[in-house]
Amino acid sequence: MIRWLLFILVYLLICLYTLQALRSGTRLPWIHYLYIAITLLVLGNFVYQFTWGEAEGRVLSRPKSYAFGFLLAVLTFNLITMIFLFSEDIFRVLVAGYHKVLGGKGEFSLPGRRRFLSLLALGVASLPFGALLYGMYRGKYNFKVLKYELEFKDLPLAFHGYRITQISDVHSGSFDNWPRISYGVDLINQQESDVIFFTGDLVNNKASEMDPWKDLFSRLRAPDGVYSILGNHDYGDYVEWESEELKAQNLEDLKALQREMGFDLLLNEHRYLQRGDDRIALVGVENWGRGGFKKAGDLRQATQGIRENDFKILLSHDPSHWEDKVIHDPMHFHLTLSGHTHGMQFGIEIPGLVKWSPVKWRYRYWAGIYEELGQFINVNRGFGFLGYPGRVGIWPEITVITLKKTGLT
């Protein structure tokens, strides 16, 4: 309770700064009252959703997610405005002190706020505020197809030109727009790749979250099939289950659901993709993540029966697995496909110029193609979203990778 009271107090103090900027920038009272109403409504909804409105323990439900999203947008607006005004306050105090000590006035009197600076603060703050609202309204379904060509000296000849489509991090429990998700699924099929790989996190917490969407994702088709693995959210670890039996049953339900949709789920095992006499080893491991994430992935078990000189593609949800274990493994995995990071769903990307997200401070390999020790990884930015119910600058991704044999056109 004390934490909530402290949070509310800090929130209101930050909002007071923005209210001062509004009063300096405009003398229209209705704007001031509208701002007060919005900030209190957003605060009240957030407190309600995460206290009395909490229905499923730690589960981040859709109402909670939107309450967090609106609070984030309002807080961002207020904090940026406060930075401008607080900087001005420092200047005002220095000026007042100068006049009192050195100016001979004998009194401490703060200069008035400058209207121009208040308007500038509000203008700058409105940019990320608008971007966060846009990300919640449209950005989260702004699907992008990213295409890469990767060359390998030892790629089997029959697989020259082989096309892979990768999706990751569906997080179906967050979906709220059937037409847009249907469009995304159709966009995957339109790539007409030879095979489709899904690299984990089908749900947020429970297998039942996928029930409204399973028929839609059952439409995914590729000549060589649809293969999948589990991500950290698929195990139900973030739910306060009544018993371990219910948790275990949820995982079994999710596995059965994937198979019902036509996904070939790889659980620390492998398959071979065949083209005539040539073949590629497809290896799929369970989740393995650095830190407190589940470490169920087992490369040794998954590669039993695979020859060391086979061309190998690895599906592993968390890119920290590639960094910590895979690239140093003697089996030499030519290409690893991961997800997990979502690119934090927020950042700035201008192809060839800028690629930045705060998530880079947590994950060295956080989005796109990387190469180390003659091995490649693609970290997919994710198809869905979690937490903040939107995306800004880091759009939902469908990856298409074409394999090439070095020296051939």
**DSSP codes joined into one string, 157-196:** GGGTT-EEEEE----GGG---HHHHHHHHHHHHHT--SEE
Rounded to two decimals, what is the model's pTM? 0.91
Q: Is 345 left (phi over 0), alpha (psi -120 to 50) or beta?
A: left
Instruction: Give me the percent of the chain exceeding a pLDDT of 70.
Output: 92
CA dist 273 and 224 (Å) reads 7
Domain boundaries, the chain: 2-137, 142-405
Edge-to-edge strand list for the sheet holding 278-284: 269-275, 278-284, 312-315, 335-338, 375-379, 368-372
Buried b (16+ CB within 10 A) or exposed e, 71-90: bbbbbbbbebbbebbeebee
CA dist 385 and 342 (Å) reads 7
- What's residue 50's pLDDT? 87
CA dist 308 and 59 (Å) reads 43
pLDDT at 91 over 70: no
pLDDT at 111 over 60: no
Residue at token pair 């298409």: 400
Distances (CA, A) of 343 to 33, 166, 221, 297, 319: 37, 16, 27, 22, 12
pLDDT at 99 over 70: no
* Dihedral sign computed on CA atoms, order 146, 149, 155, 157: positive
Per residue in 302-360, pLDDT (tens digit) is 999 999 899 999 999 999 999 999 999 999 999 999 999 999 999 999 888 899 999 99
Cβ contact 321:338 at 8 Å: yes
Q: What does the block give as tokens for 109?
A: 């009197």
pLDDT at 204 over 90: yes
Read off the pLDDT of each residue in 65-94 and give the average, rounded to a whole number. Answer: 84
Fold classification of 142-405 (topology level): Purple Acid Phosphatase; chain A, domain 2 (3.60.21)
- What's residue 115's pLDDT? 76
